[in-house]
Amino acid sequence: MPDQAALLRWFEAQGRQDLPWRATRDPWSVLVAEVMLQQTQVSRVLPRFAAFLADFPTARACAVSPVAAVIEHWDGLGYNRRAVNLWRAAGVVTDRFDGVFPPSLSALQELPGVGPYTARAVLAFAFEHDVGVVDTNAARVLARWVGRSLTRSEVQQLADAAVPPARGWSWNQAMLDLGATVCTARHPNCGACPLRHGCGWFGSDSPDPDPAVGSAGVSGGQSRFAGSDRQGRGRLVRALRAGPVPVTELAPVMGWPDDVGRAERVAATLVVDGLAVIAGGRYRLPR
């Protein structure tokens, strides 16, 4: 078991205490932060978090707003489908739970776009439950600690078992910070790690292959963005924030002026995902 006291001491001295979502236990605020942070750097989320909550301070306020308003707020955060799922989740919380988030793993996972990680993050960071929160950073720490690649069930069981009683909030924040700032993917600073004593990988002189590579929960890196369908989707959503786009302008707007078929195919996926509607020969944001 990782040295709980050592990691908690390290977090108190070295943790990222200034992150604004760590100053709240409001489930809606925590959910907004977690959804924004999915595959998006902290530096990009920081200026957007407070602005989003200023306009949508509660799940109910978000649910009664047009989905277009939420999509417009998502400008610059990427993966725009998350904005639609967040709006839908706000609707479920409002309609099914009367605006009160359920402190239940199974109920939270019924919310659109909320998977095992996000549900556990809300439980730990809003309700302070003693559950293990496993993102790519925490999974990397645990695989290296054990010294071998872990299956999905193994990494979750180890994460849950490692949480000190009544310290779910602090422990999980510490694990996320350790993986993000010390036990990093490419250049881990093992000499500064509070868990180096007892770490299986460090204790065996950090041999190749790195046990974190291929371990469940550890990101393998994103696919190439330039020239991808994701890039075309992003360009179209960015244009729709400014106003409707005629069908005849899809291809140049999406960056594929000579491939109308691809533009139409990819634009259709935005409609399926609830990010756009088509009417009168024009694409626009849903209202």
**pLDDT tens per residue across all 287 residues of the chain:** 788 999 999 999 999 888 999 999 999 999 999 999 998 899 999 999 999 999 999 999 999 999 999 999 999 898 999 999 999 999 999 999 999 999 999 999 999 999 999 999 999 999 999 999 999 999 999 999 999 999 999 999 999 999 999 999 999 999 999 999 999 999 999 999 999 999 999 999 988 899 999 888 787 655 677 888 999 999 999 999 999 999 999 999 999 999 999 999 999 999 999 999 999 999 999 98
Would you tell me how many other CB atoms lie within 10 Å of the CB of residue 114? 21
Dump pLDDT digits (tens) for 107-132.
999 999 999 999 999 999 999 999 99
| Helix (H/G/I), strand (E/B), else coil: 221 | coil
User: What pLDDT score was predicted for residue 221?
Assistant: 59
Is the whole-model pTM more than 0.85? Answer: yes
pLDDT at residue 220 in the model: 67
> Count of CB atoms within 10 A of residue 246's CB?
11
Q: What is the DSSP string of 88-145?
A: HHHHHHHHHHTT-----HHHHTTSTT--HHHHHHHHHHTS--------HHHHHHHHHH
User: Phi and psi dihedrals of 56, rounded to 5?
Assistant: -130, 70
Does 34 participate in catalysis according to the annotation? yes
Could you tell me which CATH class the domain 1-15+130-222 is placed in?
Answer: mainly alpha
pLDDT given for residue 223 in this prediction: 60
Say which of 34, 72, 110, 128 is annotated catalytic.
34
pLDDT of residue 227: 80
What is the distance, to the nearest Å, from the Cα of residue 279 to the centroid of all Cα atoms in its chain?
33
Contact criterion met (CB below 8 Å) for 62 and 112 = no
DSSP letter (8 states) at residue 41: -
Contact call for residues 178 and 141 (beta carbons, < 8 A): yes
User: What is the model's pLDDT at position 23?
Assistant: 96
Q: What is the pLDDT of residue 122?
A: 98
Answer yes or no: CATH 1.10.340.30 is held by domain 26-125.
yes
% of the chain at pLDDT higher than 90: 89
| Domain boundaries defined on the chain | 1-15+130-222, 26-125, 229-284
Copy the structure tokens of residue 24. 């709240």
